[in-house]
Homo-oligomer: A and B are copies of this chain.
Amino acid sequence: MSGRISDSTVRRLSLYLRMLRDLERAGVEFVSSSQLAEPSGATSAQVRKDLSHFGSFGKRGRGYSVDGLVRALENILGLSRSWRLALVGVGKIGSALLGYGGLAARGFDVVAAFDVDEAKIGTRAHGLRIRPMRELRPVIAECGAEIGVVATPTEVAAEVAAELERAGVGAILNFAPIELSEVNGVPIRTVDIVLELEGLSYLMSESGRRTGSDA
């Protein structure tokens, strides 16, 4: 088991965990791979293959213990602890993140916020004091943030990511529409809304072209 695990497998594990938590809350004790597969659009074989990379969690003929699998997946995904986030850029997206309770609820606490705007520095946003960029390194070191969040304009995103990496974060979540290259093995995930919209644009144009020439 367990070689290099693909991105898509990890995504699905997260989705399985979500469903399992719902089931746990509902008091369900056992679940089969096919039930688990449904909400994420996977197949039962895929569920079993995904889990098999990490061990043997089910009972043949019975399925998986909901509690047991929740704990196992929390361990695999590193979600049996909580993570501290440092946010850079308290603009539209940054503020939305600060106000979004869903993060803290799932174990991702924003513990520091930074901006370059003098007017914002010192003020509080959702209970968090906004600090100047100059304090980025010492504050991150002090509060021990593990994940850096880049919510700045595109032009400075790469530089900010590099600075976060130097400050010691172990991973970066980037909202700027730019592909940041991973340095020093610090993984980066980019959330690029325009890219998603352009993907939809392609699909709509495609289907238009198809039906257009068919009809």
Question: Which A residues lie at the B interface, using CB under 8 A?
Answer: 5, 7, 10-11, 13-15, 17-18, 39-41, 76-79, 83, 85, 92-93, 95-97, 99-100, 102-103, 106, 108, 146-147, 170-173, 177, 179, 181, 185, 187, 189, 191, 193-208
Contacts and interface: CB of A to CB of B under 8 A. Distances in A.
B197 A83 contact: yes
Contacts of A147: 197, 200, 204
Given A177-B102, A194-B102, A197-B173, A202 B15 contact: no
Oligomeric state, in copies: 2
A146 B201 CA distance: 9
Given A179-B39, A191-B191, A193-B103, A202 B77 contact: yes
A173 B185 contact: no
B200 A77 contact: no
A51 B194 CA distance: 21
Nearest to A190: B196
Contacts of A200: 147, 171-173, 187, 189
A102 B91 CA distance: 13
